[in-house]
């Protein structure tokens, strides 16, 4: 994480200014407000603002006049019920805004979630910093042979070293050429007065996809959960999953009851297809169901066995 | 506006609880937070929560680390620039939530704005109050002869009285029959133990479209402005326009600079078609342009003349 | 279903005009194109247009150059895989457009699905027909005692008759008063030249919520399935469910493989919460799990027992 | 444009298969269906499918039963009216789907338009081709001094040559290293059996932002126009503008009347702020308005002068 002294000072000042509000506040989330939480080698995530809390969900579901007036146990039961029965609109009533620094190839996955508001640092308008992502050695994995879009074993020895050298060398060279083409001067080298310098909107095309960018990203609690269900999942690429996992921690500070319901009914729930459900019923009735008699494809059977913790998995 | 004692007490309590926050707050908006602002005969609008302020727009546009650090005049200039050049995403970074009580036929127009979150009071689940909208006499207008979807002169005399009597009589009768079909008992009459009572989800179909409903409605500043541009416009139906106008007042408390930019560049701006622009250029050059020589249709010419305040209008 | 002779003639003409296209076509869907399929007492649903087929899903998932070139069995396997693993974007690549006639209270539920395009018949601009929904006797149900938003037993005898009389009587009276207020003349009665007539945008508020409206409704296959999952479900209100069920039939004509996958992995699948999954694993291992030892609430246990077809349900 | 023989064969076959449909067809658009239209050095755009035509707009606005039955002049007038008065929903009733090949930095701008469906070629799953964008010499522009996010004069001589050499050299080197890290073998070099090869989802991060990607992109006519208004505008970056301009040509084939209305009321229209409108009124009245007396900022005045073709511009 590379934050300049001026940026740290801006953050310190933001954390120094307390005001009084009639709105609901969440002390556990205020504790980390504005603070950059480091991720990967240069990334971070910061909570910039939020609106609402667990109670906002309850209040909207009841279209109530006050701030949610029933007993805590009833509120919790209502949130569990809403989650279980996919009554999703009350969860749209709470909102959160992040400032995220992330590699461009991660940003490209992230942006596919369309139901959010985004303002990205513009490389048409400004110059990107010299920061690029290099995987930690334990993340340098071979292509998975089982999964066309997954990772297999960790690379080792000479090949691993060579890969890291290439990634670093190429990122450094392309960045240096980017800076040369811009000809706007750096700490190390003044601009050449005899050259015009290439337009920023063109020069940026020379950067590699592991270059860091940053953005403001704002979404509601419902869409946040949709994002987390897909991106905090073990099938998600590691580099986006680390962001999602930190966001899940933040969500727990913000809306602890909704987070509990989310883990119970989404993150750690299982979906059984019609055929899988029929097989499970037979298993419960004591029948010995096999891949062959289950009616499932080989791959579906493996997935079901893994879900149920069957020895066949 | 009909709010029960318990509801007023809930609101009073919500306004009594101040907490400290590191988030930006807007004192002028806090002044009216939770307070019902009356509208039409039984409607209201209340601000329930908000996130961000004018500064949030600036901060997102700059993807900055602090709370917006430049001079006020620069921030104002940036907001004006963003509005003028349709850089809309920074305005998505502020959010507001309302509680609204409104006639069903107004709710049907309002809901067509899809980019908002809504939780409506459920008449499948609960019983609607006996409240329906009756236009004030000065709003009881005849069909416009010029505009297929507008109002003309105010109705007067016997016809006006008869219309009001019919609206009131029909709403009262259909509500009474709704209550009878439900058979859940009212203050005036106990439930009949020998009857089952019709399901709420069915009985509601007997109500007229001027019955009041209520909802929580949450949207971001960009989509709020889109709503206001269409619904605070003189062509909008009066009954939704009064809500939009109050929301514009609220917006001014919340984000005064953005509101100024919005009025300058949207609400009171004019759009000239290619042909209208060509006509305006000729007028400025001193030429006497007429409907016939303008290249516009008769209707377009009238609209342009009205925009420019020409005598032909 | 009330369609005039002119409208039937318009439909007949639309079905008489065949043209050649290079686009994919679906003969089974063309068979019913434009034809009104009757629903409830006066409603209908018509397919107006469509784009894509099962193959469009495959083609987009592969970003392929041709029209999907692999074997049918591979295409089917891919669609099953996409559905099972919630790869939803390829299903957005097919689109369908309906013309629907439906009671206003059903339209109010339906419109909550925001991810569709809608053009509704405007009662600001035009006059609504005298058509309103009256439930068939077997649909006239009492409020459910178990479910706050459901139906219980069918009403019978005098109460049922009285309910139907009230619904019919109120709808007829409010419509007659609507027509009187408009004063635009009907087949039965000429307009009164001495009256101005109330503006259409106001008069409509006197109609009851069972009045029929109509709209064009267009959505993509992904969002259609989301709609059907919620509205073709037994918990949906009967009056919207009948529309969803017809749309599911239409979907089967249009995209038979996707429909098969949708039924297998969505409509007839089951979701097990973390706690329910743990209970199921113990059952499969031969343990006798009860409500008390399951860790589930009483209500969750009933739902699980029903899903698994346990005797306790 | 680099399309393989197999891909051309797929396209040829798709164009060879005509079927009969009851749906509206647009012969002028069928002429170019599936055909790749070349763009930049390796890009293309292809129309893959479409739904509806100018008539679909009219039909939805009228919620009509047939295929649009009035005279052509009335249909045209209605489309002009809808466009002029921002009645946008009928334009959502037509849909179009493209297959686009484009540099990644262009894809990053394009994807910010959220109201579309997208399936992108996956570099987690597959290997990207060795194709990258190099600007034509006349597009190699210096940074604009007037506009922080624009281009100025064309680079010339040695500097231009050096920029092109760097862009080409860096793209070739990073691609070669990408291929080496993958170790999956190429036409030129077999995979090294002693190396594992880096996972595709990691190796891709070494590519530069001018590498070509491709996607299926589907949107409705309303959202297409929104995209074109921003991206076919002279302020848009050249590399995305060339795509938008081809799409505008395609739109003209598809919906000629809507395109005419779009150009008249959007592309070549002018928006005057409240203050600018007041200045224009004074000009028409014969007053000599200057920057100083206009009430506009220096920048706004320049923009207004350019719009009106005033000598001060």
* Three-state helix/strand/coil letters over D211-268: EEEEEEEEEEHHHHHHHHHHHCCCCCCHHHHHHHHHHHHHHHHHCHHHHHHHHHHHHC
Q: What distance in Å separates the CA atoms of residue D149 and residue A201, rounded to the nearest whole number?
A: 7
Q: With contact defined as beta carbons under 8 Å apart, do C262 and C83 qualify?
A: yes
Chain D window 103-132: which residues touch A at a Cβ cutoff of 8 Å? 103-105, 108, 111-112, 114-115, 118, 122, 124-125
ipTM given for this complex: 0.95
B69 has pLDDT over 60: no
Rounded mean pLDDT of chain D? Answer: 94
Q: What distance in Å separates the CA atoms of residue C225 and residue C91, rounded to the nearest whole number?
A: 9
* b/e map B175-195, b = 16+ CB within 10 Å: bbbbbbbbbeeeeeeeeeeeb
Size of interface A-D (CB pairs under 8 A): 154
Tokens standing for residue A90: 């009350």
Q: Which residue of B has its CA nearest to A20?
A: B20
A305 touches chain C (CB under 8 A): no
D260 touches chain B (CB under 8 A): no
Q: With contact defined as beta carbons under 8 Å apart, do B54 and B114 qualify?
A: no
Rounded mean pLDDT of chain C? Answer: 94
CB-closest option in D230, D272, D297 to B272 = D272
Q: What distance in Å separates the CA atoms of residue C173 and residue C170, rounded to the nearest whole number?
A: 5
What integer pLDDT is reported at residue B134 of this predicted model? 98
Confidence of residue D1 (pLDDT cuts 50, 70, 90): low
Confidence of residue C66 (pLDDT cuts 50, 70, 90): confident
D280 touches chain B (CB under 8 A): yes
Q: With contact defined as beta carbons under 8 Å apart, do B123 and B215 qualify?
A: no
**Who has greater pLDDT, B210 or B310?**
B210
Q: What distance in Å separates the CA atoms of residue D179 and residue D173, rounded to the nearest whole number?
A: 10
Q: What distance in Å separates the CA atoms of residue D133 and residue D103, rounded to the nearest whole number?
A: 6
Residue C123 is assigned to a ligand binding site: yes
Question: Taking residues B91-115, what's their average pLDDT?
Answer: 97
C62, C162, C231, C299: the active-site residue: C231
Tokens standing for residue D285: 């009245």
Q: What are phi and psi of C124, to 5 degrees?
A: -80, -30
CATH class belonging to A1-132+210-269 = alpha beta
**Who has greater pLDDT, A190 or B277?**
B277
CATH of segment(s) C5-133+210-267: 3.30.1360.170
Question: Which portions of chain A are predicted below pLDDT 70?
Answer: 1, 67-70, 312-313
B96 has pLDDT over 70: yes
Percent of the residues in chain C that have a pLDDT greater than 90, as a whole number: 85
CATH of segment(s) B1-133+210-269: 3.30.1360.170
What integer pLDDT is reported at residue A313 of this predicted model? 45
What integer pLDDT is reported at residue C149 of this predicted model? 79
**B308 with D280: Cβ contact below 8 A:** yes
Model confidence pLDDT, tens digit, residues C195-246: 999 999 999 999 999 999 999 999 999 999 999 999 999 999 999 999 999 9
Site of tokens 């709003």? B139
| Mutation for A interface: B2, B32, B51, B123, most A CBs within 10 A | B51
For residue B217, the chain C residues in CB contact (below 8 A) are none
Percent of the residues in chain D that have a pLDDT greater than 70, as a whole number: 98
Say which residues have a Cβ less than 8 Å from residue D235's Cβ, sequence separation at least 6. Answer: D150
What integer pLDDT is reported at residue D313 of this predicted model? 45
Confidence of residue C93 (pLDDT cuts 50, 70, 90): very high
Residue B112 is assigned to a ligand binding site: yes
Say which residues have a Cβ less than 8 Å from residue B210's Cβ, sequence separation at least 6. Answer: B103, B104, B105, B132, B133, B134, B167, B171, C205, C206
Q: What distance in Å separates the CA atoms of residue C145 and residue C151, rounded to the nearest whole number?
A: 8
A60 touches chain B (CB under 8 A): yes
Q: What distance in Å separates the CA atoms of residue C89 and residue C86, rounded to the nearest whole number?
A: 9
Check if A266 is active-site.
no
C290: phi > 0 → left, psi -120 to 50 → alpha, else beta; which? beta
What integer pLDDT is reported at residue B313 of this predicted model? 45
The SS3 call for residue D184 is coil
Confidence of residue D245 (pLDDT cuts 50, 70, 90): very high
What integer pLDDT is reported at residue C145 of this predicted model? 82
Percent of the residues in chain C that have a pLDDT greater than 70, as a whole number: 98
B73 has pLDDT over 90: no
Map out the domains of chain A as residue ranges. 1-132+210-269, 134-209, 274-308
Closest listed residue to residue B230, CA positions, set D200, C145, D85, D261: D85
Q: What distance in Å separates the CA atoms of residue A155 and residue A138, rounded to the nearest whole number?
A: 8
Q: What distance in Å separates the CA atoms of residue C234 and residue C290, rounded to the nearest whole number?
A: 27
């Amino acid at each position: 994480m590379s934050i300049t002294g001026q940026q740290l000072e801006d953050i310190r000042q933001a954390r120094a200014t307390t005001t009084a509000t009639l709105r609901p506040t969440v002390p556990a989330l205020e504790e980390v407000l504005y603070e950059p939480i480091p991720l990967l080698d240069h990334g971070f995530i910061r909570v910039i603002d939020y609106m609402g809390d667990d109670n906002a969900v309850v209040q909207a579901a009841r279209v109530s006049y006050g701030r949610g007036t029933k007993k805590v146990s009833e509120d919790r039961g209502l949130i569990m019920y809403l989650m279980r029965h996919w009554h999703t609109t009350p969860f749209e009533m709470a909102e959160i805004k992040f400032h995220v620094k992330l590699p461009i190839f991660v940003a490209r996955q992230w942006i596919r979630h369309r139901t959010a508001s985004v303002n990205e640092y513009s490389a048409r308008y400004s110059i990107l910093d010299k920061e690029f992502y290099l995987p930690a050695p334990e993340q340098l994995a071979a292509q998975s042979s089982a999964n066309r879009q997954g990772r297999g074993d960790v690379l080792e020895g000479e090949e691993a070293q060579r890969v890291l050298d290439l990634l670093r060398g190429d990122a450094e060279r392309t960045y240096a050429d980017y800076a040369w083409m811009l000809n706007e001067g750096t700490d190390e080298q003044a601009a050449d007065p005899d050259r015009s310098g290439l337009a920023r909107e063109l020069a940026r095309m020379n950067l590699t996809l592991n270059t860091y960018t940053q953005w403001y990203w704002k979404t509601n609690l419902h869409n946040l959960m949709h994002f987390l269900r897909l991106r905090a999942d073990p099938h998600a690429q590691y580099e986006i999953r680390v962001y999602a996992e930190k966001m899940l921690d933040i969500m727990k500070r913000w809306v602890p009851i909704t987070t509990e319901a989310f883990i119970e009914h989404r993150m750690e729930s299982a979906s059984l297809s019609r055929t899988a459900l029929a097989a499970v019923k037979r298993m419960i009735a004591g029948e010995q169901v096999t891949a062959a008699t289950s009616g499932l494809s080989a791959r579906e059977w493996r997935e079901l066995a893994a879900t149920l913790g069957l020895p066949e998995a």
